């Protein structure tokens, strides 16, 4: 609805300009100058937001104020509601090309979160270590949902887990960042043997989020054994979209 309103407003602004020009009988030469100016504005605006990039908040804010009303695509992409202002519907996409980015470790001291060269392609976040039960080891990333429109929220990632027994496991938790209430959890690699290999996982979190305005995405493993089974998990291509 928000996108439609913005688009309609831009169309109205454009029509008003057109009608007032006709109404005041501006001559052909003058119209031609206006048209040239508008084309010039349009061109500048489009190049400023980088075309496919839409990479900066300032770029879209500039587009919001342009009155040419033409279809540069920003009228529909500005209101994507993901709160980061880049108009692409992506909250974040972590490929771990160089480091673990904004993820932080949370869990038992016996485990640690580090950057690793394994991955899909190489470069991932790795959790490994050992602890006495009950213990979890998680990598956590906070997400601001205050601008989210509530329509759709999907988390995807690639994961691999290994151990030296049948204890290989990996889990996802989604937690309200303000109350720490658990909104969703699932053990998606559940006590399998040795090496799960890389696989892709996708979760529609739309219903689970409720009215939370900030959440934590948590990915990790559960250590339920006194024994050190060399539990390790890797995560790559973590993508949250609306
Ligand atoms: Ca990677
Ligand atoms: Ca253990």
Domains of the chain, residue spans:
2-67, 90-241
Give distance in angstroms: CA of 190 to centre of ligand 1. 23
Q: Which two tokens stand for residue 172?
A: 């996802």
Q: 88 pLDDT band (50/70/90 cuts)?
A: confident
Q: How far is CA 28 from CA 21, 39, 107, in A?
A: 10, 16, 72
% of the chain residues with pLDDT over 90: 64
State in Å: Cα 131 to ligand 1 middle: 27
Q: How far is the CA of 107 from the centre of ligand 2 (A)?
A: 13
Which tokens go with 141? 């990333």
Both tokens of 121, joined, read 């392609």
DSSP one-letter code for 122: E
**pLDDT tens-place string over residues 8-27:** 333 333 333 333 333 333 33
Q: Provide the pLDDT for residue 204.
A: 98
- Say whether pLDDT at 211 is over 70: yes
How many angstroms is it from 114 CA to the middle of ligand 1? 13
Q: CA-CA-CA-CA torsion for 228, 187, 127, 210, nearest 10 degrees?
A: -140
Q: Specify whether the CB–CB gap between 232 and 126 falls below 8 A.
A: yes
Ligand nearest to the CA of 237: 1
Please identify every residue whose CB atom is under 5 Å from ligand 2, which is an ion: 130, 223, 225
CATH 2.60.120.260 is the classification of domain 90-241: yes
Of 132, 139, 129, 107, residue with least CA distance to 224: 132
Alpha-carbon gap, residue 158 to 147, rounded angstroms: 27
**CB 109, CB 170: distance < 8 Å:** no
Averaged pLDDT, 100-127: 98
* CA 236 to centroid of ligand 2, rounded, Å: 24
- CA distances in angstroms from 61 to 17, 45, 65, 83, 216, listed in the order given: 21, 11, 7, 13, 28
The pTM (predicted TM-score) of the whole model is 0.67
Q: Is the pLDDT of residue 28 over 60?
A: no
Whether residue 177 has pLDDT greater than 80 = yes
- How much distance in Å is there from the Cα of 87 to the middle of ligand 1? 24
Q: Which ligand is nearest to the CA of 165?
A: 2
Per-residue pLDDT reduced to its tens digit, 31-74 = 333 333 333 333 333 333 333 333 333 333 333 333 333 333 33
Q: How far is the CA of 62 from the centre of ligand 1 (A)?
A: 34
List all residues 6 or more positions away from 32 whose beta carbon is below 8 Å from its beta carbon.
none
Ligand 1 centroid distance, CA of 124 (Å):
5
């Amino acid at each position: 609805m928000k996108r439609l309103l913005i688009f309609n407003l831009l169309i109205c602004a454009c029509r008003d300009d057109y009608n007032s020009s006709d109404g005041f009988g501006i001559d052909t030469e003058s119209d031609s100058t206006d048209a040239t100016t508008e084309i010039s504005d349009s061109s500048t605006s489009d190049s400023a937001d980088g075309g496919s990039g839409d990479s900066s908040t300032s770029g879209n804010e500039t587009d919001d104020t342009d009155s040419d009303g033409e279809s540069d695509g920003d009228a529909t992409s500005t209101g994507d509601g993901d709160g980061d202002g880049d108009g692409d519907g992506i909250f974040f996409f972590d490929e771990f090309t160089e480091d673990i980015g904004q993820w932080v470790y949370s869990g038992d001291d016996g485990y640690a979160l580090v950057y690793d060269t394994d991955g899909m392609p190489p470069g991932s976040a790795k959790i490994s270590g050992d602890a006495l039960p009950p213990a979890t080891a998680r990598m956590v990333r906070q997400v601001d949902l205050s601008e989210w429109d509530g329509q759709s929220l999907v988390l995807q990632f690639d994961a691999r887990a290994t151990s030296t027994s049948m204890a290989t496991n990996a889990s996802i938790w989604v937690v309200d960042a303000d109350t720490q209430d658990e909104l969703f959890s699932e053990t998606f690699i559940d006590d399998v043997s040795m090496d799960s290999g890389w696989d892709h996982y996708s979760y529609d979190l739309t219903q689970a989020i409720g009215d939370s305005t900030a959440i934590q995405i948590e990915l990790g493993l559960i250590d339920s054994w006194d024994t050190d089974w060399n539990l390790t998990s890797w995560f790559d291509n973590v993508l949250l979209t609306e």
